[in-house]
Structure 1
Amino acid sequence: MRNWSNNYWLLALGLPVDPFLPSQSLSGGQLTRLALHQLFQPDYGYLILDEPGNHLDQQGKRWLIEQMRRFDGGILVISHDRDILRCVDCILELNSLGVRHYGGAYDVYAEQRANELASQERSIDHVKTQIKQMRQTMQKNREKAQQRAVQGKQVARSGSQAKILLNNMKQDAERAGGARESNQNRQLAQVQDQLSKLNKQHEMLKQQSLFLGKAEKHASRILDVIEVRLLFIQRENDITFSIHFGDKVRLSGANSSGKSTLLKAIAGRLSPLQGHIQVRTGLCYLDQHFTLLKNDKSAQENLEFFCSHLTEKDRRTLLAGIGLRRERAEQAVATLSGGEKMKVAMLAISHQPGNILLLLDEPDNHYWRKERRRRTEKRRQKADF
């Protein structure tokens, strides 16, 4: 009876029906499901889940969301996956400014955040206008003071008024002008400080920009996979396909279907049981754990290693676009979050010189999924309007 129960749960989780199978032989998605299943079974009052959607296929994602909805206790989930965030009661956003509470799930959060961003941009524009007007007023006052000084010298040369009276008038005007400019400088400094704080808040709210390298599309074929059969992949037919330069191909399949194994074979890290793989260009493989990055080096140093043809200014501009500015760009990669490591890795591999075939294994782990699709759709809607 116990064996039947084990087999039932293994089947329900999409795992091999062998309770003695070593866990290291499972895929990343299968391991994630198994770990989550163990958490949801005991009578816990509260769960803390750190990026639970990583490595899960669509079926696994639906299973996770259903388990979260059925769970009677509380859940604190750290996630950038919008499907998961749409089934929560509220969102807490943590950044360098502190913790901000947003009532409701992701769509409510996104609307509130967009309204905050628009309000901040209006405030920034208003403060910039204030600063411009204050500087114009200060310049006009200086010009008037200079004109009065010239007029005073002309009166002194004419001898129409007593010299002692003119000196008193000059001193009074200089004191009044100095006090006025000091007051104006103090007010200007306050408004500039307000602008600085608004800009810092705006940096936290605005979307980051991940600038990927571009290349012209050619007709040449850069990859041939011919009648390949791989270890651990059970298929009726051998794998055969080709990729041309400029093609963007999505490799889909359920957890444990062999997606990562195929990428490793193309990258030359595994040998096929039969068949032939030919790569006709440079190749860069980004695995699920971003092991191409050197953890003891900074983001700036990693980018310099992979993209030495870029200037330091260009590298810092790219890193600033993903939120790594100034001293943060000099931090060791080991101290960065999973999402930050992914962005640094994407910058590094996409800006290498020459024609490169990129192999990306779960590149959206730790990241806002569908962000690029959402931005494209938003631009299309504006164009249609």
Structure 2
Amino acid sequence: MMRQEAMIRPDDTIADLLGVRTALAVIDRAEVGLADADELADADWTLPSRLEAALMRCGLSTDPQTPLATLSGGQRSRAALAALILAEPDFLLLDEPTNNLDREGRRAVIDLLRGWSGGAIVVSHDRELLEEMDAIIELTSLGATRYGGNYSAFRQCKDSELEAAARDLAHAEKALSDVARRAQQARERKARKDSAGHRARAKGDQPKILMDAAKGRAEASGGAGARLRDARREAAGEAVSTARKKIEILQPLSMDIPPTDLAPGRTVLRLDGVTGGYDPARPIIKDLSLTVTGPERIAISGPNGSGKTTLLKIITGQIMPQYGRVELTVPFALLDQHAGLLDPSSTLRNNFLHLNPTADRHMAHAALARFRFRAADALRHPSELSGGERLRAGLACALGAMPPPMLLILDEPTNHLDLDGMNALETALAAYDGAVLVISHDSAFLRSLAPDRTVHLGE
């Protein structure tokens, strides 16, 4: 099993992750003549070459004694993949295996599965990876549903289900309207008959006993009819409620972003010869110049460890550059994959009010509701939320601002979003008229964003 996050002790190495520390120590002792007879008998002399091959296959060319703490998240994920290959199991269980990987790492996962002759269960929202699946099981509040085929087939089925659910709702609402109309017509007919009966009784044309009998039959018939109409109305109402609930489950999440009115010729960001990083002796960003004008969309790419997130921190003032100049001239919002802008000890509503000082409680609830945090959900704390919910809350607080930010800076925004959340974010960004600066290794997301330019780091 490859977990989403490797649980490591401070002194763990790659060899520990792969479970070969002891076996490698035996070989090391044998090579210098310190191993005893039992150790020599049990030594796996093929281990070093198999270990090297597994690491190379996953794009890691490093010593097995390298501490895991010195590796990036993506490099640790590659090491975890190498551990799977080295173990040669019959069945793989992968939990979000591509979340922290760069393009090459994601390709390594896909290639691993393509060449895998055993079985595999993969938990993932990575649409490129899901295209490699033989079947997809979706978990919702309705339970587990199995769809044959890859992501494209799954998406087609889901779209068909949404269309069918919409038709069912329209049919149920029409049936309820028809029941209500017929009930009104029945009430009007009864009112006319009752009025005629009252006039006939007032005239005294028929014996009282006959009129009383006719009145009794009418009341009995009317009561039965009313009960039947009530039953039909109740059944039609339940059908509408059931159809509406299904629509709410299947209907994609909607994210509405107000317009920024960013002028096409306005300078949004200018970097002039910027050099910087965490270590002054070894700056990871070197002599970088960049100008963003108007509603441009720019992707920042590069392998893990190339300085992408460091660059965003320099741009937003979290790290001061060693050399060069940074000019950020418009209001901006920065959202990382962990929604770090949210205070975990405060409610979502209070987070929104803190990040948007001119907003009131009504505006906060309205903005959060657009991102499916309705009523009491607005009083939840970020610490209570799943990764996807937390990022959705971050989007609500960042994009629901008034006025909205003219520059949206996103650091791996799809890492913890579910498929509906990704589709909603892509739809929202398609309608967003501000500038976008994004780090992402999600090829499907980048295709949807259609960046005007890509800045490559680490080359």
Q: Is the 8 A contact 1:92 1:102 kept in 2?
A: yes
**Corresponding position of 1:366:** 416
Match of 1:352 among 392, 401, 426: 401
Q: Distance in 2 between matches of 1:374 and 1:210?
A: 6
Report the alpha carbon displacement of residue 134 of structure 1 after superposing the two structures with TM.
0.6
Q: Distance in 2 between matches of 1:267 and 1:25?
A: 26
The answer to which of 6-15 and 33-42 deviates more is 6-15
Per-residue displacement from partner, 1:321-355 (whole Å, max 9, x unpaired)?
Answer: 44444444443322322222222211211222345
Q: Distance in 2 between matches of 1:51 and 1:114?
A: 24
Q: Is the 8 A contact 2:172 2:243 kept in 1?
A: no
**SS of residue paired to 1:44:** coil
Gap change, CA 1:311 and 1:267, over 3 Å in 2: same
1:149 aligns with 2:198: no
Within a 5 Å distance, the mapping from 1:1-385 to structure 2 comes to: 13-15=58-60, 17=62, 22-218=67-263, 219-231=265-277, 234=284, 238-307=287-356, 309-310=358-359, 315-354=364-403, 355-367=405-417, 368=419, 372=426
Q: Distance in 2 between matches of 1:56 and 1:353?
A: 35
Gap change, CA 1:320 and 1:194, over 3 Å in 2: farther
Q: Distance in 1 between matches of 2:262 and 2:353?
A: 26
Amino acid at match of 2:316: A
Gap change, CA 1:297 and 1:10, over 3 Å in 2: same
Report the alpha carbon displacement of residue 238 of structure 1 after superposing the two structures with TM.
1.1
Q: Distance in 2 between matches of 1:370 and 1:58?
A: 21
Q: Identity, % of aligned pairs?
A: 30
Q: Distance in 2 between matches of 1:108 and 1:356?
A: 37
Amino acid at match of 2:275: R
Gap change, CA 1:201 and 1:319, over 3 Å in 2: farther
Q: Distance in 2 between matches of 1:278 and 1:163?
A: 98
Report the alpha carbon displacement of residue 52 of structure 1 after superposing the two structures with TM.
1.7
Gap change, CA 1:250 and 1:301, over 3 Å in 2: same
Q: Is the 8 A contact 2:94 2:121 kept in 1?
A: yes
Report the alpha carbon displacement of residue 84 of structure 1 after superposing the two structures with TM.
0.7
Per-residue displacement from partner, 1:289-316 (whole Å, max 9, x unpaired)?
Answer: 2121233444444334334555656554
Gap change, CA 1:38 and 1:252, over 3 Å in 2: same
Gap change, CA 1:180 and 1:348, over 3 Å in 2: same
Residue correspondences, number: 375
Q: Distance in 1 between matches of 2:193 and 2:388?
A: 62
> Structure 1 stretches of 5 or more lacking a match?
377-385
Q: Distance in 1 between matches of 2:407 and 2:158?
A: 37
Q: Distance in 2 between matches of 1:277 and 1:11?
A: 39
Report the alpha carbon displacement of residue 267 of structure 1 after superposing the two structures with TM.
1.9
Amino acid at match of 2:123: I
With the length of structure 2 as denominator, give the TM-score of the two structures. Answer: 0.73
Report the alpha carbon displacement of residue 72 of structure 1 after superposing the two structures with TM.
3.8
RMSD of aligned alpha carbons: 3.0
**Corresponding position of 1:379:** none
The answer to which of 252-261 and 276-285 deviates more is 276-285
Report the alpha carbon displacement of residue 375 of structure 1 after superposing the two structures with TM.
11
**SS of residue paired to 2:297:** coil
Q: Distance in 2 between matches of 1:30 and 1:85?
A: 22
The answer to which of 313-322 and 67-76 deviates more is 313-322
